[in-house]
Homo-oligomer: A and B are copies of this chain.
Amino acid sequence: MVVTIDRKYGSGGRMVGEKLAKRLGYRFFDRELLKIAAQESGMHEDVVQHFDEKPTGSLLYSAYLHATISVTDALPLNQKLAFAQFDVIRRVAEEGDCVIVGRCADYVLQDRDDCLNVFITATNAVRRQRLVQYYGVPQELVDKTIKKQDKTRADYYTFFTQRKWGDASNYHLCLDAGRLSLDGAAALLADAVHQLEGK
């Protein structure tokens, strides 16, 4: 079984994924995908981390990159990294049970019938608190950061999948990790995986 987990920024989705992987004894992939993809593409990890889960053609990142490399060079690098990660996603899924966070994994693996596609949300209040407490984001920047990161993830997802990020129709299970808890969400997802394994 492959569990793909997408998540609103600051929802605790990555931690739910880690806890789920531990419960199930599954491998866990998040940033690891970036590292593998970078190595295999001959790109340096420090350079490509700026492109991870960023929408291709984003003006924001074009501007950011303008000082170091030309925009025309930047756009293919975005895509190159994304496609390299998609290749890694297909391979790790092929190798067996795992939990994969982000990077359009639900879409990349849509032809497999052994996936459980998950989306993790939380209210803005819960996300604000998490950003301050765990990410060290200053209080006055919290709302701006949430909005910007959600938009970046949504644009990235929609660019590659032509689907609407966070629409319940695109996932098998969506969970509010604030209304439940990170452990509670992981427990429910583990139940769902066990149901599907027995199907």
Contacts and interface: CB of A to CB of B under 8 A. Distances in A.
A169 interface: yes
The 4 closest A-B pairs by CB, nearest first: A174-B174, A168-B174, A172-B176, A172-B179
Given A119-B168, A180-B192, A181-B199, 8 more contacts: A121-B168, A166-B167, A168-B168, A171-B176, A173-B174, A173-B175, A174-B174, A184-B192
Q: How large is the interface on A (under 10, 10 to 19, 20 to 34, 35 or more residues)?
A: 20 to 34
Interface in A28-56: none
A172 B126 CA distance: 13
A195 interface: yes
Contacts of A176: 171-173
A188 B187 contact: no
A116 interface: yes
A162 to B, nearest CB: 16
Contacts of A195: 180-181, 184, 187-188
A169 B116 contact: no
A73 interface: no
A116 B168 contact: no
A81 B176 CA distance: 31
B172 A180 contact: yes
> By CB atoms of chain B within 10 A, which of A174, A179, A184 has the most?
A174
